[in-house]
A and B are shown apart, each in its own frame.
Chain A
Amino acid sequence: MKTLRKADVVIVGGGWTGLLMAKELGARTALSVVVLERGVPRSTDKYADDMDELDYAIRLRMMQDAAQETVTLRHDARGRAVPLRRYASFLPGSGVGGAGEHWNGQCPRNLPDFFELYSRTKEKYGVNRLPEDHAVQDWGITYDELEPYYTRTERLLGLSGKAGNLRGQKVEGGNPFEGWRSEEYPTPPTKLPYFSALFRDGAKSLGYHPYPVPAATLSQAYTNPDGISRPPCVYCGYCERFGCMIGAKAQPTSVLLPVIEKKKNVTIRKGAWVRRLVHDAAGSESRVRGVTYVDATGNEIFQPAEIVFLASWTLNNTRLLLLSGIGEPYNPGAGKGTLGRNLTHQVSFAAATAFFAKPLNRFMGSGASGMLLSDFDGDNFDHSQLSFLRGGLLEARNTGAHPIGEFGEVPHRVGSRWGSTWKKAGIEYFDRVGRIVVSGEHLAYKGNYMDLDPTYKDRCGDALLRLTLNWRENERRMAELLTEKTVEIARAMGATEVNTFPGLRNYDSRRYQSTHVQGGTILGTSPESSVVNTYGQHWQAANLFVLGGSLFPTGGGANPTPTILAMTYRTADAVAERYVKRPGPLA
């Protein structure tokens, strides 16, 4: 194995979190920073060629290749896990920019009480209302502490939206349920697809409070505090699963890479597939010495470093720690260990598929152009008489309908799935159907977790990550009520027919839900119940930091990336301002 010269900082993964950390440390410190990214180089100006539904949205050209690395899944600890032979229910990214290149850019903040889910629930409803096998705990950091970092994130991305709560003042047209924000969004809301306008009017007629999606797809030209200028979105409809060719969508190659490329102290090494973190003997005072990786030509390389950041997204953050033997693997039976606990996947489903008499021109839109509604999110509605806790956002977006994925969605009464009748209905409804999607909170449970699979291996022969994951009654009941409410809105929008969500049964790996999978290396206030402190710093190794959704102790209804980036900023501040001067535990 070849050993390279020591770097001050190694960052594993060059996606949203890894590149944000690289930019911050590159700009604010003199540290030498090496980013190791397993995938290919990417750049915004190459994306004009990706407007092909088949190769990108269906064959998933930008995502992690499952032949090289996937995960296994089982519904409970007694079951035998099988590999997800293709990714479908979530889509891990690969290549410079990670999933941030082909994300949608829908960017709400989490609700304030989400960060204190355990204590707020206990206070309001009593602990007995939490499901028996729950693993819910507070974050150890509050919304108020995170607010400035949310604001910085929003400026970085140039988010387009409308505030609903400015320093405690309710503002008409925004989300009245949101936590206070210190300033208005950097840019006004995006243009609105017709379907979303129908939703706005329908929801208002029922007395609800729809508001424009906070969008990383710019409504107007914007220059961020780093001096990065981006043009307005042109609603081409090729955001989700594609990169934006004009960089109107905030993606790491459009907002971070141009800054990083000017910094001589930062290097991004592509094709570097990290396999292990190397550390001194386990125990309470362990220290990480660097990482080993396989380069594009298959050579094993050791990259020593003073500080290591894990930024390889939820699943690999957890898996690399398990493979490296850092921390005690969670064992739900024995009630021991913390590494791998609290796996959640946002409860996301099309509650109402609504058919209309008029055409919707669905090919026009952006990944985040549309309306949201938070009346049924979190604890925004009273749960004292309900049989479940929490809720979710209702979303009416038009992200750009592509014909392979969308053709053939017809009213249930049509009955057939092929042949003349189905074809005729498919043609008739292709542009007359819209989906209202629910994105709901997923509580953490003792029985939903990650560990190493005993059987299946990746391309290097390393054990795959095993997900033990299924829905519980809380999610099923929540889905039922939210479906009912959504269908009422669809009718108020003037839908002539509605296909309703059949209900959550077992976790279904074939249906795309979201790439909002969280947990595994959760943050907290004590090493007994968490893997890292609220800065993402590992309890057992002060020079190891973990970034991203793997820190979330519970799964939110809001899309996670604004929170993920806000926390990354907070860690960057703590490292640049405190840790560099006095290495050691930050909390």
Chain B
Amino acid sequence: MRRRRFLTISCTTLGGVLVYSLDRKVSLLSANEKNKDKSLRIPLRFFDEGEALLAAAAASRIFPSDVSGPGAKEAGVVIYIDRQLAGPYGSDRYRYTQGPFEDAPAEFGYQGKATPREIYREGLKGLTGFDQLNAEEQDATLERIEASVFFSLLRQHTIEGMFCDPMHGGNADMVGWQLIGYPGPRLNNYDEIEKYYGQAFRPKPAGLREVSGHSVGASEDEK
């Protein structure tokens, strides 16, 4: 069995900005003083630590943490991606993978043989040293690969990790949902749907496990 791998994140980076936004009103709260010197060790399922740091750095440029609120870093996007790649999605369990593999125009969808896992492994090799660059250099590097399959996956997965139900490992503390005023799954909007015409109705977000009151199986945990 392969040695367990961890991503170590210090709470100063992870919890450095806590942002709560209701309908475009952004307030920045300071990090929890108590936790500031602690670090988190998060077990990785697919990446090694070096890969995780590269993927996290790239996701942070796609969805940056900045004046408009928290980003990929706070939401834990890299944790989300790691789990997806380790699960059935990463190995293409549900994609048609019989050959022959032919090139076809873009309208026919991705026709490659490589699985998401393989695309990331290869793609991250090309980003060696990326996490050491400054923001402008990082953006320039990403612009160069913008047309690649790897980048389009990275962009898509960053959005998924920002806004998925927290049970998938992203959208930590529902920072993504709070940022855009999305309440998560709600069981009933009967009285509200016609009541708030033109005004923001922003109920407090809750994830599916909280709403349903029990544990719900996530696809990445399928055996």
- The interface of chain A, by Cβ under 8 A from chain B, is 48-49, 51-55, 58-61, 65-67, 70, 73, 80, 82-86, 88, 191-194, 197, 232-238, 358-359, 361, 363-365, 369, 403-404, 407-408, 417-420, 423-424, 426-428, 430-431, 455-457, 506-510
Closest chain B residue to A245, Cβ basis? B187
Which B residues lie within 8 Å of A509 (CB)? 107-109
Tell whether B89 is near chain A: CB-to-CB under 8 Å. Answer: yes
Whether A236 and B68, one on each chain, are in contact in the complex, defined by CB atoms closer than 8 angstroms, is no
Known: A55-B218, A419-B61. A66 touches B94 (CB 8 A): yes
Tell whether B192 is near chain A: CB-to-CB under 8 Å. Answer: yes
Q: Which of A85, A193, A359 contacts B95 (CB 8 A)?
A: A85
Whether A430 and B180, one on each chain, are in contact in the complex, defined by CB atoms closer than 8 angstroms, is yes
> Can you list 15 A-B contacts (CB < 8 A)?
A52-B208, A53-B164, A54-B164, A54-B165, A67-B94, A67-B95, A73-B108, A83-B98, A193-B193, A235-B190, A359-B181, A361-B193, A419-B64, A427-B68, A457-B98
A85 and B94 CA atoms in complex are apart in Å by: 9
A237 and B211 CA atoms in complex are apart in Å by: 15
Whether B108 and A418, one on each chain, are in contact in the complex, defined by CB atoms closer than 8 angstroms, is no
Kindly specify which of B3-11, B39-47, B197-205 makes contact with the partner chain.
B197-205
**Is chain A's interface secondary structure helix, strand, loop, or mixed overall?**
loop
A223 and B214 CA atoms in complex are apart in Å by: 32
Known: A359-B198, A359-B200, A423-B63. A82 touches B111 (CB 8 A): yes
Known: A359-B23, A361-B201, A427-B68. A85 touches B111 (CB 8 A): yes
Whether A194 and B198, one on each chain, are in contact in the complex, defined by CB atoms closer than 8 angstroms, is yes
Which B residues lie within 8 Å of A73 (CB)? 108
Which B residues lie within 8 Å of A193 (CB)? 193
Q: From residue 117 to 176 of chain B, which have CB atoms closer than 8 A to chain A?
A: 139, 142, 155, 158-160, 162-165, 167-168, 176
Whether A236 and B189, one on each chain, are in contact in the complex, defined by CB atoms closer than 8 angstroms, is yes
Which B residues lie within 8 Å of A364 (CB)? 189, 192-193, 201
Whether B64 and A420, one on each chain, are in contact in the complex, defined by CB atoms closer than 8 angstroms, is yes
Known: A82-B104, A420-B64, A510-B107. A67 touches B165 (CB 8 A): no
Which A residues lie within 8 Å of B64 (CB)? 419-420, 423
Which B residues lie within 8 Å of A361 (CB)? 192-193, 196, 200-201
Which B residues lie within 8 Å of A238 (CB)? 185
Whether A232 and B100, one on each chain, are in contact in the complex, defined by CB atoms closer than 8 angstroms, is no
Q: From residue 46 to 68 of chain B, which have CB atoms closer than 8 A to chain A?
A: 61-64, 66, 68
A486 and B108 CA atoms in complex are apart in Å by: 28
Tell whether B179 is near chain A: CB-to-CB under 8 Å. Answer: yes
Whether A66 and B181, one on each chain, are in contact in the complex, defined by CB atoms closer than 8 angstroms, is no
Closest chain A residue to B201, Cβ basis? A361
Closest chain B residue to A403, Cβ basis? B163
Q: Number of B interface residues, CB 8 Å?
A: 70
Tell whether B102 is near chain A: CB-to-CB under 8 Å. Answer: yes
Which B residues lie within 8 Å of A427 (CB)? 21, 24, 68-69, 179-180
Whether B108 and A49, one on each chain, are in contact in the complex, defined by CB atoms closer than 8 angstroms, is no
Closest chain A residue to B100, Cβ basis? A455
Which B residues lie within 8 Å of A82 (CB)? 102, 104, 108, 111
Whether A510 and B109, one on each chain, are in contact in the complex, defined by CB atoms closer than 8 angstroms, is yes
Whether A419 and B102, one on each chain, are in contact in the complex, defined by CB atoms closer than 8 angstroms, is no
Which A residues lie within 8 Å of B30 (CB)? none
Which A residues lie within 8 Å of B93 (CB)? 67
Q: Which of A61, A359, A424, A508 contacts B219 (CB 8 A)?
A: A61
Whether B107 and A508, one on each chain, are in contact in the complex, defined by CB atoms closer than 8 angstroms, is yes
Q: Which of B181, B182, B185, B193 contacts A191 (CB 8 A)?
A: B193
A88 and B71 CA atoms in complex are apart in Å by: 28
Closest chain A residue to B163, Cβ basis? A403
A427 and B188 CA atoms in complex are apart in Å by: 24
Whether A59 and B219, one on each chain, are in contact in the complex, defined by CB atoms closer than 8 angstroms, is yes
Known: A232-B190, A236-B185. A510 touches B106 (CB 8 A): yes
Whether B68 and A51, one on each chain, are in contact in the complex, defined by CB atoms closer than 8 angstroms, is no
Whether A430 and B95, one on each chain, are in contact in the complex, defined by CB atoms closer than 8 angstroms, is no
Known: A53-B165, A509-B107. A197 touches B197 (CB 8 A): yes
Whether A423 and B66, one on each chain, are in contact in the complex, defined by CB atoms closer than 8 angstroms, is yes
A84 and B108 CA atoms in complex are apart in Å by: 7
Q: Least Cβ distance of B179 to chain A in Å?
A: 6
Which B residues lie within 8 Å of A67 (CB)? 92-97
Tell whether B212 is near chain A: CB-to-CB under 8 Å. Answer: yes
A556 and B69 CA atoms in complex are apart in Å by: 46
Whether B189 and A419, one on each chain, are in contact in the complex, defined by CB atoms closer than 8 angstroms, is no
Whether A55 and B107, one on each chain, are in contact in the complex, defined by CB atoms closer than 8 angstroms, is no
Closest chain B residue to A456, Cβ basis? B98
A430 and B217 CA atoms in complex are apart in Å by: 28
Nearest 10 CB-CB pairings of A with B: A51-B185, A403-B163, A364-B189, A430-B180, A424-B68, A235-B189, A418-B62, A359-B200, A508-B107, A234-B188
A499 and B205 CA atoms in complex are apart in Å by: 30
Which B residues lie within 8 Å of A403 (CB)? 162-163, 176-177, 180, 182
Whether B192 and A404, one on each chain, are in contact in the complex, defined by CB atoms closer than 8 angstroms, is no
Q: Least Cβ distance of B5 to chain A in Å?
A: 24
Whether A234 and B23, one on each chain, are in contact in the complex, defined by CB atoms closer than 8 angstroms, is no
Whether A52 and B68, one on each chain, are in contact in the complex, defined by CB atoms closer than 8 angstroms, is no
Which B residues lie within 8 Å of A84 (CB)? 96, 108-109
Most buried by A among B111, B139, B163: B163
